[in-house]
Amino acid sequence: ATNRTFTMIKPDAVENGHTGAILEKINAAGFRIVAMKKTQMTQRDAETFYGVHSERPFFGELVAFMTRGPIIAAILEKDNAVEDFRTLIGATNPAEAAEGTIRQLYATSIGENAVHGSDSDENAAIEGAFHFSGREMF
């Protein structure tokens, strides 16, 4: 069945001018764009979005990073969307990401890793609804 995932092109990749190249790879991999916008997360947005990580030692760094500049948020549709998108982006740590993956090509570090991809269908729905209203999905 066709399903959806949620992604963000993170502030590092937007700052470094990789937005177009990343969207091209997403398109070439067969994902359809259901919703997309450029936006900037507030401190509160980031603390809420990453709430599951609030006890991690890198939480403060993560919130500061994700709020420091604009992101591209998008909902993507494809068969097996969550798993196929995580394959396309590669491992969290770009040093461990497979050749040709978005993180291997464009990420700087484990924290500044260029893109987000939902880790489950349930989180894809929660994260998509965090950023988009029904009227912004097509």
Catalytic residue positions, numbered: 116
Helix 121-131 × helix 81-89 angle, to 10°: 80
Distance CA 34, CA 48 (A): 23
Match 């909902």 to its residue by tokens.
Answer: 75
Distance CA 130, CA 51 (A): 13
CB of 120 to ligand CMP, least distance (A): 12
CB of 113 to ligand CMP, least distance (A): 5
Question: Which of 38, 42, 43, 58 contacts ligand CMP by CB under 6 A?
Answer: 58
Binding to ligand CMP by residue 111, rule CB under 6 A? yes
Binding to ligand CMP by residue 29, rule CB under 6 A? no
Question: Which of 35, 62, 63, 71 contacts ligand CMP by CB under 6 A?
Answer: 62
Phi, psi of 98 (to 5 degrees): -65, 155
Positions touching ligand CMP (CB under 6 A) are: 53, 58, 61-62, 92, 110-111, 113, 116
